[in-house]
Structure 1
């Protein structure tokens, strides 16, 4: 019994090794439409027809509203009449100018008469150009009576009904279209964290390995993981003076339109890779009253020693070690309550989850 009581306590240990580690941060985010297009009339008139259903998917070029075309059709016909009149004047002036040019060669008309005929022809030709431009303008404005979708997207609520008088370039949109596949996710990160990340990237302790931007994964408000991975597309160039935060913008596929503009999401952003990271299981770490972290390290003689450590990120139940431990160290993860610094122990390899 005495020999059994004096046996060294048994402890479970794991041997630390370096491996690549993806540095990620969890940040709050909010979704925003990829494209937002308020549809404003480009001519004044009475709405005769609305040709879409609110909330429906709209294709670019679809007619959304029909504004009364009658006055614009009349304006087009008037412009076409003016063009015909100007063209007729050219047809009349051209042979007169040609005749005077021939007569001038034999001194049958004066130089002044010739120049007057040629000037009249040039004026009439200029009038044709102006009239043709007026026809084009009138035709364009007639086309504007069909209010068309500038983008493909989802139609919001219609702000105007049939019979409403709308005005050219008015402040209030008739309807707003939203395109949200893909969708933006805007997240905020403290400027201090961004500076620390850039310092690590510059020093080479972290590197980026994601072509096309850092990867981003989302968790929805109800706790479900969002099935599509996005990419970071933009990092803000200024700091919000009120919050000290920088806005990061990601582009995320949204084929099922599960995400809607304005939703709150939880974002995990992978910002770099540490090629030789040392990870220690969470259960190997203890803390003193001052909050200092330490771990039991078993030496080659099977004697444990408490080692103060500096920890970094937490990932999958392990801490990233910044200082205090090295690859090959055997750290205690089971039975640490039974050991004394320097007293022999019986280590065995602990099972890792």
Structure 2
């Protein structure tokens, strides 16, 4: 019995070993590959815009200060109203300036009389000197007196002109056209010549400026793209600008970039850019913060790569995965030029009709065999096409 049992056990073991060898010799079925979703890349015209923060600045600002000392006798303007260049704003007590003008005018008349007498004396002495009726010394004295009288008249004219200027300055006028603010003085206030505090401030609101801030590196990159012709814009043509206000509404008027400051900030490394806007309804107020969208131009042939499909290494190098001709995941290094919405703008490293992998990244690596399924991406960058897992289940990418 024992011998029979041992023989049966040996037969079973031989059968198991034989089956194992047969299985080992059978060829393995090839892997079907990892399921991935892809989109086909197509070159397209891409409008480039730069989103910058900015602050509204008046085109011109004039702080009103008196040019003479005096008591404010009258305030002529209405606070917050439009004033024109040359309009009267304040009237100062002018009594002493009228008296000074009268004195200067009298002195002027006195010098005119003296000059007339000196001129007559010189003419008479000059005529007599021709007949030797007077000495040469007398003629020289008459000439010296005449020159002194002429100098006195010029000094008197200057004094009279100064007195007239001071009298005119008792009426403080607007140096520019614009909106005048709150008066810092009242009737009866004493003001002094060129005082530190302004009596009022005038600002020009229409047109108006918006000062934007951008990094110097970005400004140089944009300039290089313009010079290379990648933005479809000729150098020297101003870029248009649109604004978004604090309340989220778009400003109706379009502006244009008027200048870029040629100085880089030592602390922030930024450059100031000034845009020019019409402001007929005075919606833009100096000091207001806004968001600006600067139209840089249109790239005639670029590729839009969903942000989810592009990664960057520690060195900042941008990479993507595409499906190769032999159905493998191929990693590529690409060059980006900014972004638009949920897409990176890629200008180098891809070609038309490349199959960009947009889903299934967790299971792939460079050279990995893949099973590609065409996918669709909505405007928010969400993959709408579901793909299957290796276990045969369905999953939807988000």
- TM interval, short-chain normalised: 0.7 to 0.9
Distance 1:16 1:94, change over 3 A: same
The equivalent of 2:76 in structure 1 is 51
Q: TM-score, normalised by structure 1?
A: 0.83
Deviations 1:245-299 (A, max 9, x none): 222222222111111111111112234543332334x388366999965355586
Would you say the 8 A contact 2:227–2:235 is kept in 1?
no
Structure holding more strand per residue:
1
> Within the alignment, does 1:294 sit opposite 2:320 as a pair?
yes
Residue 153 of structure 1, CA deviation:
0.9
Is the contact made by 2:322 and 2:354 (CA closer than 8 Å) also made in structure 1?
no
Instruction: Give the equivalent residue in structure 1 for 2:50.
Output: 25
Q: Alpha carbons of 1:116 and 1:138: their partners in 2 closer, same or farther (altered >3 Å)?
A: same
Contact 1:200–1:206 under 8 Å retained in 2: yes
Q: Return the structure number with greater relative CO, CA threshold 8 A, min gap 6.
A: 1
Please give the alpha-carbon distance, in whole angstroms, between the structure 2 residues aligned to 1:256 and 1:242: 37
Change (3 A) 1:213 1:247: same
Match of 2:155 among 121, 127, 130: 130
The CA deviation at 1:79 is: 1.0
CA change 1:210–1:63 in 2 (3 A) is farther
TM-score, normalized by length of structure 2?
A: 0.74
1:15 to 1:33, Cα distance in 2 relative to 1, 3 A: same
Query: CA offset at residue 18 of structure 1?
Result: 3.6
Distance change >3 Å, CA 215–CA 277, structure 1 → 2:
same
Pairwise CA distance, 1:177: 0.7
Q: 1:227 to 1:344 in 2, by over 3 A?
A: closer
Which residue does 1:235 correspond to in 2? 260
Q: Which has the larger radius of gyration?
A: 2
**Structure 1: gaps spanning 5 or more residues:** 1-5
Instruction: Show structure 2 runs of 5+ residues with no match.
Output: 1-31, 380-398
1: CA distance between counterparts of 2:94 and 2:187? 14
Distance 1:173 1:207 in 2: 49
Q: Give RMSD over aligned pairs.
A: 3.4
Question: Contact 1:219–1:267 at 8 Å: present in 2 too?
Answer: yes
Larger deviation, residues 188-197 vs 108-117: 188-197
- Counterpart Cα distance in 1 of 2:323 and 2:254: 40
Asked if structure 2 preserves the Cα contact closer than 8 Å seen for 1:284 and 1:295, the reply is: no
**Aligned equivalent of 2:117:** 92
Structure 1 SS opposite 2:59: strand
The aligned counterpart of 1:192 is 217
Q: Is the 8 A contact 1:11 1:332 kept in 2?
A: yes
The match for 2:278 among 253, 260, 269 is: 253
Among 141, 151, 160, which residue is 1:116 paired with?
141
Match of 2:346 in 1: 321
Q: Say whether residues 1:63 and 2:88 are aligned partners.
A: yes
What is the rounded CA distance, in whole Å, between the counterparts of 1:287 and 1:198 in structure 2?
26
Name the SS of the counterpart of 1:86 in structure 2: helix
Is 1:285 the equivalent of 2:309? Answer: yes
Aligned residue-pair number:
340
**Is 1:167 aligned to residue 226 of structure 2?**
no
Supply the distance in 2 between the matched residues of 1:288 and 1:196 (Cα, whole angstroms).
Answer: 19
